[in-house]
Amino acid sequence: MNDIERAIIYIESTKLDASVRHPSDAVIGHYDLAIQALQEKLERKKEPQPLTLEQLKQMDGEPLKHWVWIENLVDPNETAYYQNKSAYYQTHSDYTEGEAFCFGYPGMGYALEYEDYGKTWFAYTHKPERDGE
């Protein structure tokens, strides 16, 4: 059991005690918020899970609404195809008729073909936390 899991257990046990002494919804809400934040952090520390192609295609229809972490699996110095470093990018409107994921920054747009997903790139909701980084 790691420190985050121990903290969740501790907060859950003190929440029960606090609910008896101070049965207010506001007090319980603070405990629930802390537990939720720790659970989200615990999820991020697990093996990162890339978005599915279906999730990416849904985001394409919502330009500028989402930020995604694009993980470049190809050395940007070795290919002219995709010379961007792994980073956060904003979703753009699909201008490829469903062939590619469109993203970038205001005034700069890029597209990565869906057929290359998992081979040359992955997308995540947040930057994967890896040991040693």
Q: How confident is the model at residue 88 (pLDDT cuts 50, 70, 90)?
A: very high
Indicate whether 40 and 62 sit together in one domain: no
Q: What pLDDT is stored for residue 80 in this prediction?
A: 54
Percent of the chain topping pLDDT 70:
80
Q: Provide the domain count of the chain.
A: 2
- Distance of alpha carbon 129 from alpha carbon 78, whole angstroms: 25
Q: What pLDDT is stored for residue 101 in this prediction?
A: 93
| Start-end of H helices in 1-99 | 3-21, 25-45, 53-60
Residue 40 domain-assigned?
Answer: yes
Residue 101: other Cβ atoms inside 10 A: 26
Residue 88 domain-assigned?
Answer: yes
- Distance of alpha carbon 42 from alpha carbon 48, whole angstroms: 11
Tokens representing 32 are: 């629930």
Residue 132 domain-assigned?
Answer: no
Residue 129 domain-assigned?
Answer: no
Q: Using only the alpha carbons of the chain, give its radius of gyration.
A: 20
Indicate whether 34 and 70 sit together in one domain: no
3-state secondary structure of 127: coil
Residues with Cβ within 8 Å of 28's Cβ and at least 6 positions away in sequence, in order, are 15, 18, 19
| Full residue range of the structural domain in which residue 95 is found | 53-124
What does the pLDDT look like over 40-76, one tens digit per residue?
887 766 667 899 999 988 887 676 788 999 998 887 6
Indicate whether 68 and 120 sit together in one domain: yes
Residue 106 domain-assigned?
Answer: yes
C-beta of residue 124 within 8 angstroms of C-beta of residue 50: yes
- Distance of alpha carbon 70 from alpha carbon 54, whole angstroms: 16
